[in-house]
Amino acid sequence: MAWMLDEYAHVTGATGKPVSLGGSEGRHDATARGGLITVREAAAGMGMDLAAATVVIRGFGNVRHSAASPGAAHYDAEVVAVSDGNGAIDRPDPAAVENVITIENAERVGARIVADLANGPTTTETDEMLDQSGIHIVPDFLCNGGGVIVSCIEMIQNRTLDHWSEAEVFRRPGEKVTAAYRAVTDFSRTWWVPMRQATPTLAVERTGGAMDYRGWIGTEQCLPTHP
């Protein structure tokens, strides 16, 4: 079966493989670390000292479990509560589900920063309410991109027949996530739009620019036709 996996990975560029089969170091907690970088940048922009901050983790699956340990170690933040869908207990899964912060409970959110490490934990309807309360939202589209970046890094290593150390793997997405967060924040402030709107808008703007340079769109405003 191993040769089938190798061939599949070669043809498709599949990522998330075991390290012994060409996977990347640092893949397990890449999403969590990327999210923590956005929290660090958000706190810095708000003048918050993370060493004096307390953290509540809603959901305690792989991503949140990984975020708790590095978060405390790197930023000296104190984790005061963790919970999952079954209560305030330590469980390996499930992780936080979608639509955890809703219209019904948004008024009780006392955090200054809400970082969407999971996909869609905050409903769209609650964004305006949280914004008006002065809560800074780091949307999932931006917050949990670390895992995707490390998947790209894994592909680069495979294609160059190289294998980077965990420290090197963590350094590269760290630079990219930091740059992405700052770009989204600048866009949000320049155009007076919420972070959740600024994130995909900037992404589409960049993608459209790249497509325009390639000649895929422009005067005819259409994508190329592929066979």
Q: pLDDT by residue (tens digit) across 69-101?
A: 555 545 666 666 666 666 553 433 364 556 778
Nearest to 58 by CA among 6, 18, 105: 105
pLDDT band at 55 (very low <50, low <70, confident <90, very high): confident
- Report for 57-61, 76-80, 155-159: range of highest mean pLDDT: 155-159
Confirm if 54 and 77 have CB atoms less than 8 A apart: yes
Residue 95: per-residue pLDDT:
47
3-state secondary structure string across the chain = CHHHHHHHHHHHCCCCCCHHHCCCCCCCCHHHHHHHHHHHHHHHHCCCCHHHCEEEEECCCHHHHHHHHHHHHHHCCEEEEEEECCECCCCCCCCCCCCCECCCCHHHCCCCEEECCCCCCECHHHHHHHHHCCCEEECHHHHCCHHHHHHHHHHHHHHCCCCCCHHHHHHHHHHHHHHHHHHHHHHHHHHCCCHHHHHHHHHHHHHHHHHHHHCCCCCCCCCCCCC
* Residue count (the chain): 227
Q: At residue 13, does pLDDT exceed 50?
A: yes
- Domains in the chain with CATH codes: 25-214 (3.40.50.720)
Rounded Cα distance, 44 and 5, in Å: 44
Distance of alpha carbon 47 from its chain centroid, rounded? 22
Would you state the structure tokens that stand for residue 127, as one six-digit string? Answer: 């964004």
C-alpha gyration radius of the chain:
19
Residue 51: per-residue pLDDT:
82
Average pLDDT score over residue span 6-30:
72
Top pLDDT among 138 and 70 is at 138
Top pLDDT among 189 and 67 is at 189
Per-residue pLDDT tens over the stretch 181-200: 999 999 999 999 999 999 99
Top pLDDT among 58 and 212 is at 212
Confirm if 24 and 155 have CB atoms less than 8 A apart: no
Average pLDDT score over residue span 155-180:
89
Residue 137: per-residue pLDDT:
92
Average pLDDT for the chain: 78
Percentage of residues in the chain with pLDDT exceeding 90? 23
Residue 93: per-residue pLDDT:
39
Q: C-alpha angle 50/56/62, rounded to 5°?
A: 105
Per-residue pLDDT tens over the stretch 92-135: 336 455 677 888 888 888 889 988 887 888 887 888 889 888 99
